[in-house]
Structure 1
């Protein structure tokens, strides 16, 4: 399709045309929109659709920056926003100063998102004359029980155009490919705190150890991975197709060296493979602590 905001003479693919129509309806009457932006495929597609609908000069990408955001993810987010043609404003978030966030219960994401949206309300909306803020919840997310961050978004009246348009993850990825977004096929990359078991304290040291270990493994050619933090032990999750390569020499020694250099004493490989929400497990919204 070319650049997201280029004028094109050929019609948009059907997925894009339908999405643009739905999102245009959701954003009707909004002069300037802020998009809570991470550089992941959901927020990137939302940013691209908003830019096409409102014009890039009426859209602002807002990137929350804290120790839970890996440096590689921060750089990648700026790359995607430049491709779309929308400016980025970074806002420092301080979820690490919240006792409830550090305690790392199943509701941790509520406190993280509440901090982000509070900072946007306080430091960005007025300064940049935003009429509304949106984030990239999709239709699949709405059906999940393990997303307390959605409660924070609702409390701050944050818009959810993708979900409201009925766009699930598969549709979001198709639109990302149609826009030729750099993140179109990027694996999910939840924040670094998600690698720490519930009720184990989230600390800058642990986040740094996970970030350094995962960055080292990516340099070894593993693109989709998690390094779960169990004190001295790093439990590596990889897709099934990567497990055999990981245990063959010299790769096994290289992985061990890379992860121990990041601060861990022991390195394990989880034969179950990569698992989304591995630490949510049996926790549900019914037994998580009540939210404000």
Structure 2
């Protein structure tokens, strides 16, 4: 399956290459797979290729360093764009369409960068599974003319990981790492200090529990709610005292371990989805 899928992906991407490609590159498994395949295609027939990484307080410093390292290892030029998400209109209020507002701002900048570099095609790593869950940022991609090859080919996360493993990419089993704004309920005011506490809390938890697997530190006012894979809960409970002490030292008054375990998009409840942004609404 991975071999056939790779051939289809290569063929799809090959058709996009003649006029140059700018790839939005997070350093996650989806965009790393695309960058590796595009590099293979460029080795066959040269074309302009640029990876672009967006970095802000909503991302940990390690994410930037990892993106830089991966791009260098693959052998593709990387441009890092630093931005202030709090300054983007509406983002600091963390509304349900926050991701749309932020991505629209970012990809408008990517459109301009691609234009100045003579790159005709904008590509990102949205996969087919993203169409099945709440992803308001996908609307911004459509509006800015961004191409999502994985989604177009019906390639979901499991197949992406299989392809990455087939190419011996070290990120094949890398957990997803959405921006830190996803740790807060919609409507919670975002600021650099609060976001920084979450980043430090997750860094501390991973140092205690290991870097493998899924982990989120969700914030509900003074409560820090830990989501981890169920298989790791006993390990967390074994370090209960250290975890409580560490998170309270960051300013949280209460620390909770969510017995439901890790759930992607757990802040996207039914009420939020019922009132979420539809494709006809404008900001």
- TM-score of the aligned structures, taking structure 2 as reference length: 0.90
5+ long unaligned stretches in structure 2: none
Which of 179, 202, 216 is matched with 1:191 structurally? 179
Residue range with higher mean Cα deviation, 69-78 or 253-262: 253-262
Residue 180 of structure 1 aligns to a residue whose secondary structure is: coil
Partner of 2:57: 67
Partner of 2:282: 291
Residue 125 of structure 1 aligns to a residue whose secondary structure is: helix
Which of 80, 84, 109 is matched with 1:90 structurally? 80
CA separation in 1, counterparts of 2:91 and 2:240?
Answer: 35
Higher helix share: 2
Equivalenced residues, count: 275
CA separation in 2, counterparts of 1:241 and 1:285?
Answer: 29
Partner of 1:6: none
CA separation in 2, counterparts of 1:152 and 1:52?
Answer: 29
Partner of 1:257: 245
CA separation in 2, counterparts of 1:150 and 1:114?
Answer: 9
Query: 1:206 Cα deviation (Å)?
Result: 1.5
CA separation in 2, counterparts of 1:58 and 1:254?
Answer: 50
Partner of 1:143: 132
1:62–1:89: 8 Å Cα contact kept in structure 2? yes
Query: 1:58 Cα deviation (Å)?
Result: 2.3
Give CA deviations for 1:189-226 in whole Å, capped at 9, x if unaligned: 11101001111111111110110000111111333200
2:56–2:84: 8 Å Cα contact kept in structure 1? yes
2:209–2:235: 8 Å Cα contact kept in structure 1? no
Query: 1:285 Cα deviation (Å)?
Result: 5.6
CA separation in 2, counterparts of 1:107 and 1:272?
Answer: 26
CA separation in 2, counterparts of 1:99 and 1:18?
Answer: 40
Query: 1:15 Cα deviation (Å)?
Result: 3.1
5+ long unaligned stretches in structure 1: 1-11
Partner of 1:178: 166
Partner of 2:227: 237
